[in-house]
Structure 1
Amino acid sequence: MKDTSLPLEGIRILDFCDQRGQGCGRLLADLGAEVILVEPPAGMASRAKPPLYDGASLHFIAHNLNKLSLTLDLASQAGREELLTLLPSVDILLDGSAPNYLSSLGLDVATLRQAHPELLYLSITDFGLAGPRRSYVATESVHMALGTMLSRSGRAGREPLLPPGDMALETASVQAAWVALLAYWQRQFVGRGDLLDFSINDAVAQLLDPGVGATGSASAGRTAVEAAPHSRPLVEFTPGELPSVALMYPVFQCADGAVRLCVLNPRQWHAMSEWLGPDHPFKHKKYDGTAGRLMKIDKINALIAELFKHQTRAQLVDEGRKRGIPIASLALPHELFNDSHFAARELFTEVDAGTKKGLMPSGYLRMDGRRIGARTPCPTVGQHTEVLSNKPAQPLEPTPEKQSIGRRPLEGIRVLDLGVIVAGGELGRLFADQGADVIKLENRAFGDGLRQSFDGNPVSIPFAQASRGKRSLGLNLRSDEGKHLFNELVKKTDIVLTNFKPGTTESLGIDYETLKHINPGIICAESSAMGSVGPNAKTMGYGPLVRASTSLTGLWRYPDQADGYGDGVTIYPDHFVARVSAVAILAKLIERRRTGKGGFIDLSQAECIMNVLATEFLRESLQPGSMVAKGNSDEFDAPNSIFPCWGHDEWCAISVTNDQQWQALCKVMDRPDLSSNHDYSTCDGRLARREELEAEVRRWCQDRTPQEVMEQCQSVGVPAGKMLRLSEFIVDEHFQARKFFRVLQQPTAGRPLETENGPVGHSETLPEPDIRRAPARAEHTRAVAREVLQLSDDEIDELIAKGVLEQGNSAEKGAKSQKFKTFAARAGASLVVKINALRG
C-alpha cells in the first residue's frame, strides 16, 4: 500500500497568526504537523479579510487548509486556564497576532514558558521585538519599500512598481517555517525551549532580491549594489548609458500575446542568429558575448521583434525549443488551470468557497511521488474542541545526553551539494550556515556559472555569498571511477542536492532510485524550473522564463502600459525557492529520526511562484478576469499606494487599511475637514473617491522627505515605509541594530564583504552562523578524500593523475582588471565608496 504518512506527524503547533504569518502554519500543516488555530469565540478577524466570495474570505481559505480550529475566550480566566492546560502537549506556538495581544491578557512569553519550559515560541512581527522600528506597523507595500525591493521594481523614469499579490508576506512565512523547524530540531539535542524573534521585514530583505546575497550569473560577479543602478533599471536603450541586464530578458509581442527570450551564452546566440537569417549585421564573433550584444541590443531586439510579431506563442516556443533557445510564453492566469504539465503534477486542487468550489495551487512541492498540499478543508470556527483532551504522541525524544546550546543545529549532517547558480548554491549555503558539512562537487568541464566574473576572479562575489562555509571537491562524475567515489560518499551522507535539468541525475546514474539502494536513509532534493516530472519538465531553468510561464511577469506590469513589465532585473524566486527546499529537507530529516527512511523532494520553481499567488488563483477561478495587473493602488481600501515625496525620485508607501487608520492619517495631515467628511468615513466611501483622496495625500507628501512622511504616519499607527535604496540599506540603523549584517572575509574580493546573518533576529538556542569564506574550486579535494573516503595520499595522487579527482589551489586570488573597474563604476560601484564613507 502507498505510504500516506507525512514527515511532521506528531508535532503539535498552536497558531495565533491572525494578522500575519498564516502561511507558516499552513506549510507546516501541509507537511503533517497538527496545526491548531486558537480563535476567539467569534473567530479570527482574518476570516473577513478580502477578497471575499459569497461572504467567505478567499485569503483565509487559502491559508488555513489542513488546520484545526479551537475557540478559547482568553479574556476569561477559564479560557486562559484551558490554554495553559493544553500547552504542555504543544511543541511550537506561532504568534502572529496583534502586537502585545497575548501579553495584554496575562499570557506573556514568561508565563507561557513557565507552564511549558520546552515550548518553542515563534514571535512573528513586522519589524521584530528589538530595533528602532520595532513598534512600526506594516503592510505588503510597506515591507516592499523598507525591504529594498521597491527601489528596483519597475522602470526608470516612472514610479516604482509594487509586485503582484502578497509576495513579501508569503515568502516571509516560508522563512518562518524554516526557523520553526530549525528550533524544533535543535531542541532534540539541547532539551530546552526558545523565544524566537522573527521579523517579516528581515525575511523580505533576505528572500526577495537580497541586497547582500548572491546575485545571478548575469551580474558577472558584481554585488547587488554594484549591479543595480540608483533607481529602477533603464530598460530602453539610450546611447551613452550603460544598458541594463533587463534588456537581455526582453518580452516580444506576437500574434496572440507575448513571449520572453533569454539568450545568454554563445551557443544560444548562434542559434538565435541562425533563426534571424543569413543577412543580419550581427554575425561577427564580437557579438557572441553578452557585453558585445548589450551595446547593440536595441537593434538586435528590433530584428527579433519583426521576426516574432506574426507568429503565435505556441509556434515560437516550439521553434525555440527545437533550436535550443530559452523562450517562454507569457502565460495568462486562466490558461494555467488547464495546463497539461501542471495537471500531470497535480498542482491545482478544488476547495470549498462559500456555495461554490474553486481551484487553487495545492501546495509548494512533491515528495516521494505525491503532492504535499491540501488534504482537509479550511475549518469552521471552533470545529475541533476535542483537541483539548487529545494529546499527540511525540515523535522524537531529546538525546539522552543533552548538548550545549552553543552547538550548531545541523552539526553531524553531511550534504553533497551539486547545486549551481543562485537557487542551488543558496540551498547548500543555508545548511552550511547551520553547521552541516556541505561538500560542493565541482568539475572544470561543467563549472558553476556563478563563479563567472568580468575580471576572471576564481571566487566571484556572488559565488562567495552563495557558497560561504562550504568545502569544494573536484570530482569527474562522467567517469566510472568518479561514480564509484560518489557512491562511497553517499554511504556517509545524509542529503544530496541538485538543480540540474531533469533527467541529468538519471543519465549520470546518481538519481534517488539508484542512491537509495546504496543508502536507504539518503534524502535527495531536486529543484528545477518546472519540476522533475511532467510534459515540460525539461524546460530550461531561467528565472525570467519561469516568471513568464506562471503569469507573474504579466501581472508585474504597469496597468496603463501594455509593455510596462517590471520584473526585468529581479532574481526572484531563487532565494525563496531555496527556503522552500530547506523546509522540506529538514522535515524529512525529522521524519528520518523516526523511521530511518530517506526520500525524494521534487521542487518546481514555477509551482513555488504560483503557490505564493494561491489566493489570487482561487479568486480567478471563481471570478474570471480578476487576476490582472493592479499597479500600486490597493484594491480593498484607500488611500493605499506609493506616494512621491520631496526630492528626486523619492517615494513612500502609505497604507490605510481601516477606519481608525484613516482618522489617524487625517490627524497627522492636519485635515479635520477630511476627518469629518462622512463620504470618507467608510472603506466603501474611500474606495469610491480614491483618486481625490490620494491626490490629497500626494499634496501632503510632496513637501516632506520619505523619512518624515514615514515617521509622522507611524507615530499615529498608520503603516508607512520609505523606499529604501541599496545605498541606504547597508547603513540603515534598524537593520544594523538587529545585527542583520555580518562580514565575510573573502580574500579574492579585495575587501570585506557585507553578508547576511542568520534567518532569525534573536534566539536562545540557535547560534549565529559561523561566517567562513567560500572555497576555491576543488580546494578541499585532498581533505575530503582522506577524511570521508579514507584514501591514502598515493591513491589520491593516482586519481588526480587520471582526471578522476581534481585538485585546486587555496591561494587563488583574482585582481580586478581596469576594464572591470570602469564597468563596475558605471554600473554603480561608486555606491560602495559612499557606503564606506557613511560608515566612517
Structure 2
Amino acid sequence: MFPLEGIRVLDLSRAISGPYVGRMLADLGAEVVKVEVPGTDITQAFGPRSHGHTGLYLQQNAGKRNVSLDLGADGGAELLCRLAERADVVIENFRPGTLDRLGVGWSVLSKRNPRLVMLSVSGFGQWGPESGRQAYAPVLHAETGLLGRQAQVDGAEPNDVVMALADSVTSLHGMVAVLSALRLRDNTGTGQYLDMSMFEAMLATDDYTPYALEGTEVFAARGSVYADAPGGPLLVSGDPKFLWHRLSGRHGLTDPDPEVSGPERFTARARVIREWVASFGSRPELIAALEAAGVAWAEIRTPATVMESPTAQAREVTAQVDDRAGGTRPVIRMPYRFSAGSCEPRGGAAFVGEHNADVLGRWLGLDAARVRELEAGGTLIPADLPVSEAK
C-alpha cells in the first residue's frame, strides 16, 4: 500500500529543486503530472541521453506522467487552472512573479481550489530585496557560507562542492512542508501556500550556523585521509583529541615529546597516527584495529564505485525502470522503508506530452477529439515520441 495513493500533484517545476519533490511524492503513491514545455528542463542537457532522457532527468522524473501545455497560448492558463481544480498539490520553481504574470499564480489557483497546497521554490524567497535574482545551487552554496567555510578550513580559494546540495536540501524541506500542509488541510479543509527559499533551507540545515549567530566560529574535524594506508587511501573520522584518546588508550600510541604542547603537540600526534596507520601489513588488519578502538572509518568511493558498497548491494538501493526501448535503466530508490507500506519508482520518465489525452481525459473528462483540437490550436503540444513508442 502506497501512503499517498489518491493524492494528485501538478509538477510545473524544472531542474532539481522542484522535480525532486515530485519524484518523492510519486514514489510514495501520488499521481504526479509533470507539466512541461519541450526544451525547458535543463537536466536534459546534463550528460548523454539514452532513449530520450539523460540519467539525471530520469532520476528526477521517474514515475511521473507528462502533459505538454503552453501557458502563453490562448486557453493555456485556463486549462492549467482547470487541472489545478482537480489537484491536491502544485509544485513550481519559476522566478517569483512569473506565474502571477501568466495568470496562474496562487491568488488565482486558490480561488479556483481552496483546498490546494502550492509549493513555490525560489532562491531567495517570493519577496525580499533579492527575490528576483537567478539562483542555482552554486549561488546558494556561496551565499550561505558553505564555500567560505571550506576555504577557511582548507586555506585555499573557495571552490564549489560537486553536488547540487542546495537543490536537494531545499527539496527535502519542501517535501516536509507539503506533507505538513496536507495534514493541516485534512484538519481545517483549507489549503496552504508554501514559500520555500533555498537560502533559508540551507541555513536551517547547516549545523555551523548556530555558532555564527553568537559570534563564534567552530570548525569540527571533517575527517582525515590517510594516503599511505595499506590498500589505498582511507578516511578516519573524529575530532583530533578524541582520535588520539581512542588510539592511545587502545593501542598504546604515545607522544614523541611529552614536553611539547599546543600546535606542536597536535602536529606531532598527527604524525604518529599517520605512521601507525602506514605500519599495518593489510587493510583488514588496519580496519580491525580502528574498530577495536571505536574509531569510525570509510572507504573513499567515487560515484562509479559506490554501488560496490556492501550496504548498497545488500539493501538494493537501486531499482530498474522501463527504458522505453524494451529494457530497463537504473534509478536510485527513495530511502523510505515502511514496515507495512510501499515506496517504489513506478515506471520510467515519460516523454514530453505523452499523457495529454490520458490525464485530460481522466481529470477533466475531455475526449480524444477535444485533445486533438487543443493540440492543433497550440494550447497543448503534441507528444514527440520516438518511433518505437509512437502508436
TM-score (norm: length of structure 1): 0.43
Structure 1 pair 798–742 and aligned structure 2 pair: CA distance change class (3 A): same
Partner of 1:702: 278
Contact persistence 1:743–1:771 (CA under 8 A): no
Identity, % of aligned pairs? 24
Residue 479 of structure 1: SS of its match in structure 2?
coil
Residue 540 of structure 1: SS of its match in structure 2?
coil
Contact persistence 1:473–1:779 (CA under 8 A): yes
Q: How does 1:18-29 map to 2 (within 5 A)?
A: none
**Aligned counterparts of 1:812 and 1:576: Cα–Cα separation in 2:** 38
Pairing 1:410–2:7 present:
no
Contact persistence 1:778–1:809 (CA under 8 A): yes
Residue 744 of structure 1: SS of its match in structure 2?
strand
Q: How does 1:754-833 map to 2 (within 5 A)?
A: 754-760=330-336, 762-811=337-386
Pairing 1:618–2:210 present:
yes
Partner of 1:144: none
**Aligned counterparts of 2:283 and 2:166: Cα–Cα separation in 1:** 29
Q: How does 1:140-159 map to 2 (within 5 A)?
A: none
Contact persistence 1:419–1:500 (CA under 8 A): yes
Pairing 1:728–2:305 present:
yes
Amino acid at match of 2:291: Q
Contact persistence 2:124–2:131 (CA under 8 A): yes
Deviation at 1:487, TM superposition (A): 1.1
Contact persistence 2:2–2:342 (CA under 8 A): yes
Partner of 1:601: 194
Alignment partner for residue 470 of structure 1, among 64, 73, 78? 64
Contact persistence 2:333–2:345 (CA under 8 A): no
Contact persistence 1:656–1:718 (CA under 8 A): no
Pairing 1:583–2:165 present:
no
Deviation at 1:418, TM superposition (A): 0.6
| Structure 1 unaligned blocks of 5 or more | 1-406, 635-639, 815-840
Q: Say which structure, 1 or 2, has more relative contact order (CA 8 Å, 6+ apart).
A: 2
TM-score (norm: length of structure 2): 0.89
Partner of 1:717: 294
Contact persistence 1:459–1:775 (CA under 8 A): no
Pairing 1:666–2:248 present:
yes
Partner of 2:126: 532
Q: How does 1:303-452 map to 2 (within 5 A)?
A: 407-444=1-38, 447-452=40-45
- After superposition, the C-alpha distances for 1:242-263 in whole angstroms (9 at most, x for unaligned) are xxxxxxxxxxxxxxxxxxxxxx
- After superposition, the C-alpha distances for 1:747-784 in whole angstroms (9 at most, x for unaligned) are 36x97433222323x42123231441110111111111
Amino acid at match of 2:304: S
**Aligned counterparts of 1:464 and 1:435: Cα–Cα separation in 2:** 18
Amino acid at match of 1:794: A
Structure 1 pair 741–550 and aligned structure 2 pair: CA distance change class (3 A): same
Residue 185 of structure 2: SS of its match in structure 1?
helix
Q: How many residues align?
A: 387
Residue 370 of structure 2: SS of its match in structure 1?
helix
Contact persistence 1:496–1:523 (CA under 8 A): yes
Residue 378 of structure 2: SS of its match in structure 1?
coil
**Aligned counterparts of 1:798 and 1:678: Cα–Cα separation in 2:** 86
Deviation at 1:697, TM superposition (A): 1.0
**Aligned counterparts of 1:520 and 1:665: Cα–Cα separation in 2:** 62
Contact persistence 1:779–1:808 (CA under 8 A): yes
Amino acid at match of 2:343: E
**Aligned counterparts of 2:279 and 2:290: Cα–Cα separation in 1:** 15
Partner of 1:154: none
Deviation at 1:545, TM superposition (A): 1.3
**Aligned counterparts of 2:221 and 2:341: Cα–Cα separation in 1:** 40
Deviation at 1:745, TM superposition (A): 3.2
Q: What is the aligned-residue RMSD (CA, Å)? A: 3.0
Structure 1 pair 653–558 and aligned structure 2 pair: CA distance change class (3 A): farther
| Structure 2 unaligned blocks of 5 or more | none
Contact persistence 1:645–1:706 (CA under 8 A): no
Residue 236 of structure 2: SS of its match in structure 1?
strand
**Aligned counterparts of 2:273 and 2:21: Cα–Cα separation in 1:** 43
Partner of 2:224: 641
Contact persistence 2:46–2:56 (CA under 8 A): no
Contact persistence 2:5–2:28 (CA under 8 A): yes
- After superposition, the C-alpha distances for 1:579-630 in whole angstroms (9 at most, x for unaligned) are 11000000000111100010111111111112223x5333234335x36xx5
Residue 734 of structure 1: SS of its match in structure 2?
helix
**Aligned counterparts of 1:643 and 1:798: Cα–Cα separation in 2:** 66
Amino acid at match of 2:339: E
